[in-house]
Amino acid sequence: MMERMERLRRLRRTAALREALAETRLPPQRLVQPHFVIDGGGPDVPIDAMPGIARTGLRRLVEQVGADRDLGLGAVLLFGITPHKDERASAATARDGLVARAVAELRERFGDGLVIMTDVCLCGAMSHGHCGVLEDGHVQNDASLPLLSAMAVAHAEAGASVVAPSDMMDGRVAAIRRALDEAGQQETAILSYSSKFASAFYGPFRDAADSAPKSGDRKTYQLDPRNGREALRESLADEREGADMLMVKPALAYLDVIAEIRRHTALPLAAYNVSGEYSLVKAGAERGWIDESRLVPEILTGMARAGADLIITYHAREALAKGWLA
C-alpha cells in the first residue's frame, strides 16, 4: 500500500458532492439563440439540414422570442434572409431593411429585457454571395467597409444592443465603431466574429441563409483552419480596433483557439456552435447512435470550460425546454 494515495474519487462519491464542486456551469443567460428572419407573417419554414430550426417570419419571431424568454433565454442573434440581392447589398444596408424592422419590433415588445444581437455581413444580400464588394473576381476590403458600417448603423438605430460583424474584412471593427459613434450610437456594442475560420461546418447554414458564394470560396478572408497563432492575432487586432467582445467560430474543432484567446484578453469571449456541429448531433440522434440529451450539455460545457463566456447555439431552446442543462 502506498504511504499516501491521492484519493481524488473522494469528491466524486455522491451526486450532491459532484454538484457542489462542478467547476463549469451553463445557466441559460450564457446562451444565445440564433434566428433566421424572413419577411412577412407566414408560418415557419423548416430547414431540412437543421431539424428543429426554421426560417421565421417577423410576426412569428416575436412569438418565438417571447416563448424562449419563458425558458430563460435572454439573448438573440438575428440573420436576415432576403430575396433582394444586388452588387451593393442594398437590402442589408437599408434603414428599413428586414433586420432593422425585426430589431425594432423586438425592442418595442421586450424593451431592455432582451439582448438583441445582429449579424452584420453583406453575403446574404449580395448577388455573388461574397461577404464584401466584388471587383474583377476579388473581394475588395476597403470598399466593403462603408457598406458594413451602414448596415451596423441601421441595426443600431433600430435598437440593436450588439452588432456582430462576421465578414472578416480587415479594419471593419474600427470603421464600424467610428460610424456608430458618428451616428450617435455610442452605446451599441460590437461583438466581433474575430477568429472566424473557412470551415466546412457552415454547410447547413449556407442553405438556411441562402448565402453561399456563387463562385470561388471565402479562403481569402476567413482564417485557415491550420492556423492557431493567426487566429490569436485576428482577435487581438479586433480588440485594439475597439471590439467589446470577441468570438471564435466554429467552436468544436477550435477549443484550443478559444482557450488561447481566453489567456490573452480580458474581453468577453463568445463561441459559435455552428450549423454543421448542430446537424451532426441531430443526425446521430435520429439514428439512435448517440444520446442527444447527454451529448449536447457535454459539448456546450466543453466550450464554456475552454473559456467561452457566451455560447451561440441552435441547441439553446430545445436544451432548456427539455431540461438537458439542469
Compare residues 193 and 324 and give the one whose CB is closer to Zn ion: 193
- Minimum Å distance from CB 221 to Zn ion? 9
**Which residue in 219, 249, 282, 322 is the catalytic one?**
249
- Minimum Å distance from CB 203 to Zn ion? 14
Compare residues 147 and 308 and give the one whose CB is closer to Zn ion: 147
Which of 121, 243, 270, 296 binds Zn ion (CB under 5 A)? It is: 121
Which secondary structure element, helix H or strand E, spans residue 273, and what is its range?
strand 269-273
Compare residues 75 and 123 and give the one whose CB is closer to Zn ion: 123
Compare residues 131 and 248 and give the one whose CB is closer to Zn ion: 131
Compare residues 274 and 299 and give the one whose CB is closer to Zn ion: 274
Sign of the C-alpha dihedral computed for residues 294, 295, 299 and 302 taken in this order = positive
- Minimum Å distance from CB 120 to Zn ion? 9
User: Which segment (48-56, 114-122, 138-146, 263-271) binds Zn ion by CB under 5 A?
Assistant: 114-122
Q: Does 123 bind Zn ion (CB under 5 A)?
A: yes
Cβ contacts of 211 within 8 Å, gap of 6 or more: 123, 124, 129, 205
Cβ contacts of 57 within 8 Å, gap of 6 or more: 37, 38, 39, 40, 41, 42, 43, 44
Quick one: DSSP state of residue 86?
Answer: B
Alpha-carbon separation of residue 266 from 164, 188, 231, 246, 261 (angstroms)? 19, 19, 16, 10, 9
- Minimum Å distance from CB 166 to Zn ion? 6
- Site size toward Zn ion (CB under 5 A) is 3
Q: Does 209 bind Zn ion (CB under 5 A)?
A: no
Compare residues 121 and 269 and give the one whose CB is closer to Zn ion: 121
Contact (CB, 8 A) for 89 and 130: no
Annotate each residue in 73-112 with x if it binds Zn ion (CB under 5 A) or - if it does not, as one string: ----------------------------------------
User: Which segment (23-31, 113-121, 240-248, 257-265) binds Zn ion by CB under 5 A?
Assistant: 113-121
Pairing type for strands 31-38 and 75-80 reads: parallel
Alpha-carbon separation of residue 221 from 80, 286, 312 (angstroms)? 21, 35, 22
Annotate each residue in 131-150 with x if it binds Zn ion (CB under 5 A) or - if it does not, as one string: x-------------------
Residue 249: active-site member: yes
Q: Using the structure block, give the residue that is written with the C-alpha cell 466584388.
A: 134
Compare residues 80 and 302 and give the one whose CB is closer to Zn ion: 80
User: Which segment (52-60, 68-76, 130-138, 289-297) binds Zn ion by CB under 5 A?
Assistant: 130-138
CA 185, chain centre distance (Å): 22
Nine-digit cell at 132?
Answer: 464584401
Nine-digit cell at 261?
Answer: 484567446
- Minimum Å distance from CB 27 to Zn ion? 30
Contact (CB, 8 A) for 198 and 224: yes
- Minimum Å distance from CB 167 to Zn ion? 5
Listed residue (282, 307, 295) closest to 195, CA to CA:
307
User: Which segment (62-70, 126-134, 184-192, 273-281) binds Zn ion by CB under 5 A?
Assistant: 126-134
Three-state DSSP state, 30: helix
- Minimum Å distance from CB 122 to Zn ion? 6
Residue 219: active-site member: no
Contact (CB, 8 A) for 128 and 85: no
Residues assigned a catalytic role: 196, 249
Judged by the rule CB under 5 A, the positions of this chain that interact with Zn ion are 121, 123, 131
